């Protein structure tokens, strides 16, 4: 297989994985967690904190996390956002996908 064909196959797999995370999570041996997606709108680039610790990543980002309760905060960025508190509390179960979007009005959840 040529290098360009292999690269295209990897890109397609990663795209499929992003669009179908629960299918991949259910097949990962020994992984008993879910996916936490943290976004900001209308612009990206805000700082992400999980359980009061900086992640060194900015919105929009996805995290594979174990089962449990997490507190998410999003601050700064081009829109000077400030989301967190009880609205940022999420429960992750096996195979779940939780999406939090921080806006000027606070978090919305999908």
b or e along 65-76 (b: 16 or more beta carbons within 10 Å of the residue's beta carbon)? beeeebbbbbbe
Token pair for residue 78?
């081009």
Q: What is the pLDDT of residue 22?
A: 47
Domain membership flag for residue 2: no
pLDDT of res. 110: 85
Structure-token pair, residue 20: 């179908």
Specify the pLDDT at position 43: 96
CA angle 109, 56, 15 (to 5 degrees): 60
List Cβ neighbours of 103 (8 Å cut-off, separation of 6 or more).
40, 41, 42, 81, 83
The closest alpha carbon to 38, from 57, 62, 55, 16, belongs to 62
Q: Is the pTM of this model over 0.75?
A: no
Specify the pLDDT at position 31. 73
Does residue 37 sit within a domain? yes
Specify the pLDDT at position 25: 46
Domain carrying residue 85? 30-109
pLDDT tens readout for residues 16-66: 555 555 444 444 566 789 999 999 999 999 999 999 999 999 999 999 999
54 in a structural domain: yes
- Provide the number of structural domains found in the chain: 1
CATH number at residue 63: 2.60.40
The verdict on residue 103 lying in a domain is yes
């Amino acid at each position: 297989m040529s290098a360009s064909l292999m690269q295209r196959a990897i890109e397609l797999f990663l795209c499929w994985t992003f669009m179908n995370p629960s299918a991949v999570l259910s097949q990962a041996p020994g992984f008993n967690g879910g996916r936490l997606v943290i976004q900001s709108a209308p612009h990206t680039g805000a700082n992400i904190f999980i359980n009061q610790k900086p992640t060194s990543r900015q919105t929009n980002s996805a995290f594979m996390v174990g089962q449990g309760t997490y507190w998410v905060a999003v601050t700064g960025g081009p829109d000077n956002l400030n989301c967190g508190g009880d609205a940022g509390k999420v429960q992750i179960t096996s195979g779940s996908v939780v999406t939090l979007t921080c806006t000027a009005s606070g978090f919305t959840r999908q």
